[in-house]
Every structure is written in structure tokens, then in C-alpha cells.
Amino acid sequence: MIDFKVSEDIHEVISSIYRFIEVEIEPLRKKYQKELENERYLYDERGFYTKEIQEAKKEVRMKSAKAGFYSMFGDPKLGGNGDTFGPVAAALVHEALMKKYGLDELISSIFPVGLFTGGLTPVLLGMKPELREELLPGIASGETLLCFGLSEPDAGSDVWSMKARAEKDGDEWVLSGTKQWVTDAPYANYGIIFAVTDPDLVAQRKGGITSFLVPFDEETCVATSTIPYLGHLGAKIGIISLENARVPEKNVIGELHQGFGTALHGVDIGRVVIAANCVGAAQWALDKAIDYANERKTFGVTIGNHQAIQMMLADCAMEIYAARNMILHCAWKMENQEKLPLKEISMIKAYSTEMAQRVIDRCMQIHGGMGLTNELKLEKVWRWARAQRIPDGTTEIQKRTIARRLLKGDRSFS
């Protein structure tokens, strides 16, 4: 039987993170208040975070690692505490932070992005022992930042359209190609890069893609630019150019020609985190809307007395409740069943991301003109929510997975 009661351990972890934010991050937020509240100062002329902000984010990562948070969801084989804090804990922690603080550049650095593309990502389980010994301490401490280079200009959801190539030359591999939509590419020390190593297998969609750990050397492996989107002046995502980038055999991650499986290793927890963030953001927005509905007056009464406002608040609450319980049920199944609940993982990613934008949009509407202002940050979170419907598999890709699982006989909802 599923127990939806949050354990005391998780309550204590969340409280500890709140204290960590108050002691370690609040001084940085005050120091960089101008930058954090105005993107003209947050990014440089190239659209990269300024050097000061990059250093601040790194400081948060390293302090978080020292406090035990940065690696708490990492695979225990890599030195993390994922055996103690699994998908349920990951969902609850990310929901709590987003609900309390909304979007925050510095707080988001407490944990690796998505949990499966940075930090002690499960992908690193495929590292060779000598490489693991060399690089894992820096990755775990937050000193070394990784990015996940799978997508390309012409290969997003259809990974088999990948054009990046890796060819063997003696004891080294030579990589060439372009990667796009890569989170943290402009700031990373290493890229987990996927490239075609057997074109014939790729043509058959049976393999032929290999994963490599490639250092950014500013010559053969370079983050050429950021990709600002939805009106932002800069971004944490960017484009990687690889021109005859050479890496030794030890930098191959996982099995040769089996990189697609490596790419999917851990994507499940990433989707749980996205879904949980969306539920937290929706609650953050609803809290603002409820407070405003109890304060703002029109026609002699607070707007919460108007039925139109009540209907919008109720719709928000119903959708949040549905999404939250979907996520907790799915996370519980991930922890207690042998097989991954693939259908449910796609369900929570698709439903929660769509839900978040609907809820935040209603909350903006409840605020009227104030909801459109930069001051309340609702528009900022609305833009963030719009973006969540695409990465880690679009809503449409998730629905395709759900339908395919149903057609193959996975009809259970328990």
C-alpha cells in the first residue's frame, strides 16, 4: 500500500536545505541582487553569465557538495546517496524548493541540472576505472561541471539522425560535429558527447552510437554560443563545435556502439525532477494568486468573492493535486517495482509540464495587469513553464510512449 506521508527524514532534509540557503546563499543573493533581478547585468554581451555569476554558481555547487546535498541523489556506486534518497525524495525536495523560492539562479545550483545530465549522473557508471579515479572527485565536489551533448541541429527526438562522427586513429578517437540545445555547455569543463561510430548500425537503428567524455579545450571542443530563448538576454544552454577533437580510449563511456542506451540511463529520474519542479512552480504561483484574491478589491469586495476568480483557483488546485499525486505514485513505483514504470514516467512528464503552464497562466489572469509585470515574476515563471514542455522528450513524444506501452499490453493504473 502506498504511503503518501512525507517521512521525517525528508522533512529534515528539506529543513536543512532551507537553513543552507539562509546561511550560504542569501548573502550571495544580496551581493548579486542587481544581476539576479536584471538580465542586463546577469549576462555579458555574448549572452554568457558574467564571470562573477559563474563564480557564484560554482561557489554554491561546491558549498552544496560539502554540505552533502549536491551528490545526495547520485548513484551510490559513484559515491552518492541515491540508495537512501530515491525518486520519492528527489520529487519532494525539488517540489519544496520551487514552491518556496520559485525560480532562482543560485538555488538551482544546489543540485546538478536534471540529476541525470550533471553531477554524479548515472551515465558515469560507464566510465573506465582510470578515468573515474581521475575525474570523479572533481565532479562530486562541484569543481568540475559536465554537460550532456546528445541533441544536434537536425537530431533532437530522432537521435538516429545524428551526424556527429567519431573515428578511431591509433589509440585515440577523433570527434567532429555540432551539438545544440546543450544545458551548461557554455560553462562546462567536459562534455558527455555522443557520436556515430558505426554508420551501418545507425542506419538499421540497432546501435552504432558511442558516448565520449570530451574536455573543452577552446580549440577542438568549443562552446561557440549560447541560445537565448523566450525573450531572455542570455542562457545556460548553448552550441558545441567539435573539430577533430581527440580523446584517448579511456574516455569512451560505456560499451562501444551502445551509447544510445547510455544516453537513456537515468533519464527517468530527470523527468521526475522536471515534473516535480512544475508542481512546485504551480503551487508557488497559486499561493500568490490566493493572497492577491484575498487582498485586491473590486466593486466593494475582494476579488476572491467573485465566482469567476473562484473557478480559476479551483481549477488550479485540482490540476496541482492530480499532478502531485501522479508524481508520488510514479516515484513510489520506481522505488518498489523491478521494472521501470515507463508509461507513468511519460505521463507525469507530459501532464505536469502542460499543467504548470495552464496554472501559472490562470494565476497571471487573476492578478490582472499586475500579473504581466516583471515585479511579480509570474511572467518569468510562465516562460520557464512554457520551455519545460520540450526538453527531455516533448509532450508529443511522451504521448507516443504512453500509447505504445498501452498497445503492448501495459494497461495497469495501480
58 assigned to some structural domain: yes
- 280 and 397 in a single domain? The answer is yes
- 338 and 288 in a single domain? The answer is yes
**Lowest model confidence (mean pLDDT) among 116-120, 174-178, 364-368:** 116-120
| Residue 173 main-chain phi, psi, to 5 deg | -110, 140
271 assigned to some structural domain: yes
User: What is the model's pLDDT at position 261?
Assistant: 82
328 assigned to some structural domain: yes
The pLDDT-based confidence of 382 (bands split at 50, 70, 90) is very high
Task: Output the furthest CA–CA distance in the chain (Å, rounded).
Answer: 81
SS3 227: coil
356 assigned to some structural domain: yes
Q: What is the pLDDT of residues 236-279, one digit of tens each?
A: 999 999 999 999 999 999 999 998 887 777 789 999 999 999 99
- 283 and 403 in a single domain? The answer is yes
Q: Kindly tell me if the per-residue pLDDT of 202 is higher than 70.
A: yes
Give the Cα separation of 308 and 226 in Å (integer). 42
User: What is the model's pLDDT at position 4?
Assistant: 74
Give the Cα separation of 271 and 115 in Å (integer). 9
Q: What is the pLDDT of residues 163-198, one digit of tens each?
A: 999 999 999 999 999 999 999 999 999 999 999 999
116 assigned to some structural domain: no
Q: Kindly tell me if the per-residue pLDDT of 162 is higher than 70.
A: yes
Q: What is the CA radius of gyration of the chain?
A: 22
- 216 and 314 in a single domain? The answer is no
User: What is the model's pLDDT at position 168?
Assistant: 97
Q: What is the pLDDT of residues 24-76, one digit of tens each?
A: 999 999 999 999 999 999 999 999 999 999 999 999 999 999 999 999 999 99
Query: Using an 8 Å Cβ cutoff, are 277 and 225 in contact?
Result: no
Give the Cα separation of 263 and 9 in Å (integer). 32
Which domain CATH number covers 218?
Answer: 2.40.110.10
81 assigned to some structural domain: yes
Number of domains in the chain: 3
Query: Regarding beta strands 237-248 and 221-226, do their DSSP bridges make them parallel or antiparallel, or are they unpaired?
Result: antiparallel
User: What is the model's pLDDT at position 1?
Assistant: 61
User: What is the model's pLDDT at position 116?
Assistant: 78
Query: Using an 8 Å Cβ cutoff, are 389 and 353 in contact?
Result: yes
**Domain encompassing residue 160:** 146-257
Which domain CATH number covers 281?
Answer: 1.20.140.10
User: What is the model's pLDDT at position 335?
Assistant: 94
- 174 and 271 in a single domain? The answer is no
C-alpha cell at 85: 534518497
* CA 221 from centre of chain: 23
Helices (H), 68-107: 87-101
User: What is the model's pLDDT at position 266?
Assistant: 76
| Percent of the chain scoring above 70 in pLDDT | 100
Q: What is the pLDDT of residues 267-286, one digit of tens each?
A: 899 999 999 999 999 999 99
Mean pLDDT estimate for the chain: 95
122 assigned to some structural domain: no
Of the residues 202, 226, 257, the one at which a domain ends: 257
Distances (CA, A) of 367 to 65, 119, 350: 39, 38, 27
Of the residues 212, 229, 257, the one at which a domain ends: 257
| Percent of the chain scoring above 90 in pLDDT | 92
pTM: 0.96
Q: What is the pLDDT of residues 286-309, one digit of tens each?
A: 999 999 999 999 999 999 999 999
Query: Using an 8 Å Cβ cutoff, are 46 and 185 in contact?
Result: no
Name the nearest CA neighbour of 213 among 180, 252, 242, 244: 252
Of the residues 226, 257, 288, the one at which a domain ends: 257
Query: Amino acid identity of 76?
Result: P
User: What is the model's pLDDT at position 64?
Assistant: 98
Q: Kindly tell me if the per-residue pLDDT of 204 is higher than 80.
A: yes
Give the Cα separation of 241 and 254 in Å (integer). 23
